[in-house]
């Protein structure tokens, strides 16, 4: 596999950008080696600047649920773009987007579009604090909510991959206001609320954790958090940046039948453009400027091109059977991976929810963050490179969920399993 051009670009990039990248996990540090530089992508495949083609299970970290460069999305973007890239006054697509989101996710009575998941979560937290007049927030170990100061405390994703879960640069006074809990531990949540409930502005949680690999909520856990927040007057925030429109049309809140006070979205809602959204109860959202005093704004928020890409993607995922087909294929993939690992004598388990999944080098089923970090990350690194050499691209970290798109058909899954059988044998050989 020739990687000369990627290597040359990475050499240049390292002089110019921290680690040669604009977002940490892209540097491939935890799996070793160097990243490939993308030239184009289509459907389930991404091609690098050296002409290598990879079957892609990262999908730009989530947005590409309808496959890369879907013609309907490209067409919508091209059409809108001819009328101008940004207006700085309201446009009709923003209203359409808000209506569409509220129809698909009824808890989003009112919402605001922003430009990234990070913006969405930090705006949601400000609103929770402003509305309750309290300052403490609760997050869960291994959950990642973007790089806002309050969230870089025991965070997942890149912060976990690089072992810097508490970032320098976050003032201690602020970090002290972030309380952390072990995800899926009922007792710990009850105890924390008993002790500090009156000071807790809000609880933010990835309803399915996708930034410490992929961990599903135990039966009743999200309901438990809902009940605690209701009892203590705290704002329950579901961070559905990853799970939104992916694990079900209505997100994890629809899948588990739990209604948060606020939700955050990103990724799919922008169809590949830089977009985020936050929203929820009207009585809370009315407190945001200019209808209320809690400030939040954005020069490019509601950008017409981004709205067009997002709306086109949201339309595609409403085709009958869209999520059902994805779910069937994810099961096929995960069952196949478990079987391939067993055949090779490698201990592996998977978690899955519709179009997202986690692969753990572990003997036991993973339900907690502690179990996720105890997995064999070195084995994952060997497996990752075994797949990559065979043209299959999994996330370049053991702590990220995998994603399927509607372009991942049975033929793609067969190819993946064939590559996985060989990669697991290499892992076994050490």
Query: Among all residues, which ones are annotated catalytic?
Result: 144, 239, 267
When asked if residue 158 is in the footprint of ligand PMP (CB under 6 A), the reply is no
Question: At closest approach, how far in Å is the CB of 408 from ligand PMP?
Answer: 20
Total binding residues toward ligand PMP, as defined by CB under 6 A: 17
When asked if residue 271 is in the footprint of ligand PMP (CB under 6 A), the reply is no
Q: How far apart are CA 350 and CA 95, in angstroms?
A: 40
When asked if residue 394 is in the footprint of ligand PMP (CB under 6 A), the reply is no
Integer angstrom CA distances of residue 358 from 61, 322, 397: 13, 21, 11
Other CB atoms within a 10 A radius of the CB of residue 88 amount to: 9
Of 206, 261, 327, 412, the one binding ligand PMP (CB under 6 A) is 206
When asked if residue 202 is in the footprint of ligand PMP (CB under 6 A), the reply is no
Q: Which stretch binds ligand PMP (CB under 6 A): 114-122, 251-259, 335-343, 370-378?
A: 114-122
Judged by beta carbon, residue 20 or residue 266, the one nearer ligand PMP is 266
Of 117, 271, 381, 386, the one binding ligand PMP (CB under 6 A) is 117
Q: How far apart are CA 359 and CA 362, in angstroms?
A: 9
Of 6, 30, 91, 211, the one binding ligand PMP (CB under 6 A) is 211
Q: How far apart are CA 354 and CA 337, in angstroms?
A: 16
Closest CA to 197 of 254, 251, 138: 138
Strand pairing class (276-280; 262-266): antiparallel
CA torsion, points 200, 117, 153, 190, in degrees to nearest 10? Answer: 40
* DSSP label of 68: B
Question: At closest approach, how far in Å is the CB of 213 from ligand PMP?
Answer: 12
Q: Which residues pair with 294 in a beta bridge?
A: 288
Beta sheet of 392-393, edge-to-edge order: 38-42, 45-48, 53-56, 392-393
Judged by beta carbon, residue 2 or residue 23, the one nearer ligand PMP is 23
Q: Residue of minimal CB distance from ligand PMP?
A: 117
Site for ligand PMP in 345-374 (CB under 6 A): none
Burial class (CB in 10 A: 0-12, 13-18, 19+), 416: buried
Count of helix runs (H) and strand runs (E) in the chain: 15, 14
Beta sheet of 349-353, edge-to-edge order: 349-353, 356-360, 402-403
Q: For the chain, first and last CA: distance in Å?
A: 22
Q: Which stretch binds ligand PMP (CB under 6 A): 235-243, 283-291, 318-326, 422-430?
A: 235-243
Q: Which stretch binds ligand PMP (CB under 6 A): 144-152, 252-260, 336-344, 420-428?
A: 144-152
When asked if residue 64 is in the footprint of ligand PMP (CB under 6 A), the reply is no
Judged by beta carbon, residue 169 or residue 430, the one nearer ligand PMP is 169
When asked if residue 118 is in the footprint of ligand PMP (CB under 6 A), the reply is yes
Q: How far apart are CA 125 and CA 123, in angstroms?
A: 5
When asked if residue 239 is in the footprint of ligand PMP (CB under 6 A), the reply is yes
Judged by beta carbon, residue 52 or residue 157, the one nearer ligand PMP is 157
Place of tokens 């030239």: 39
> x/- site string to ligand PMP, residues 1 to 40, per CB under 6 A?
----------------------------------------
Judged by beta carbon, residue 58 or residue 314, the one nearer ligand PMP is 58
CA torsion, points 212, 375, 215, 141, in degrees to nearest 10? Answer: -50
Judged by beta carbon, residue 246 or residue 382, the one nearer ligand PMP is 246
Question: At closest approach, how far in Å is the CB of 121 from ligand PMP?
Answer: 5
Site for ligand PMP in 274-293 (CB under 6 A): 276
Judged by beta carbon, residue 117 or residue 402, the one nearer ligand PMP is 117
Chain positions contacting ligand PMP, by CB under 6 A: 61, 116-118, 121, 144-146, 157, 206, 210-211, 239, 241-242, 266, 276
């Amino acid at each position: 596999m020739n990687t000369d051009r990627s290597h040359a670009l990475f050499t240049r990039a390292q002089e110019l950008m921290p680690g040669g990248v604009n977002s940490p996990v892209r540097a491939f540090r935890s799996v070793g080696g160097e990243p490939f530089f993308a030239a184009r992508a289509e459907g389930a495949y991404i091609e690098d600047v050296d002409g290598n083609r990879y079957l892609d299970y990262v999908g730009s970290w989530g947005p590409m649920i309808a496959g890369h460069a879907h013609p309907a999305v490209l067409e919508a973007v091209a059409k809108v773009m001819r009328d101008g890239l940004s207006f700085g006054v309201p446009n009709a697509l923003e209203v359409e987007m808000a209506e569409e989101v509220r129809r698909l996710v009824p808890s989003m009575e009112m919402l605001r579009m922003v430009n990234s998941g990070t913006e969405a979560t930090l705006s949601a937290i400000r609103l929770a604090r402003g509305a309750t007049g309290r300052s403490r927030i609760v997050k869960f170990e291994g959950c990642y909510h973007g790089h806002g100061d309050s969230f870089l405390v025991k965070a997942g994703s890149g912060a976990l991959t690089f072992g810097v879960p508490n970032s320098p640069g976050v003032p201690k006074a602020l970090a002290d206001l972030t309380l952390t809990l072990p995800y899926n531990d009922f007792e710990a949540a009850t105890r924390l609320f008993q002790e500090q409930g009156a000071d807790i502005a809000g609880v933010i949680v990835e309803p399915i954790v996708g930034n410490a690999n992929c961990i599903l909520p135990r039966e009743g856990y999200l309901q438990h958090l809902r009940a605690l927040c209701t009892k203590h007057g705290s704002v329950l925030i579901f961070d559905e940046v990853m799970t939104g429109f992916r694990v079900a049309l209505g997100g994890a809140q629809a899948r588990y039948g739990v209604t948060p006070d606020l939700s955050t979205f990103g990724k799919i809602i922008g169809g590949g453009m830089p977009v985020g959204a936050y929203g929820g109860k009207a009585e809370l959202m009315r407190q945001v400027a200019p209808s209320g005093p809690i400030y939040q704004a954005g020069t490019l928020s509601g950008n017409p091109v981004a709205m067009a890409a997002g709306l086109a993607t949201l339309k595609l995922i409403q085709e009958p059977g869209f999520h059902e087909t994805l779910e069937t294929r994810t099961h096929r993939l995960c069952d196949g991976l478990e079987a391939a690992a067993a055949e090779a004598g490698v201990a592996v388990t998977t978690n899955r929810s519709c179009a997202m999944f986690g692969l753990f080098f572990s003997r036991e089923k993973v339900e907690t963050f502690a179990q996720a970090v105890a997995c064999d990350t070195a084995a994952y690194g060997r497996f990752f490179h075994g797949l990559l050499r065979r043209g299959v691209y999994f996330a370049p970290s053991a702590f990220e969920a995998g994603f399927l798109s509607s372009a991942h058909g049975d033929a793609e899954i067969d190819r993946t399993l064939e590559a996985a059988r060989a990669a697991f044998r290499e892992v076994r050989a050490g």
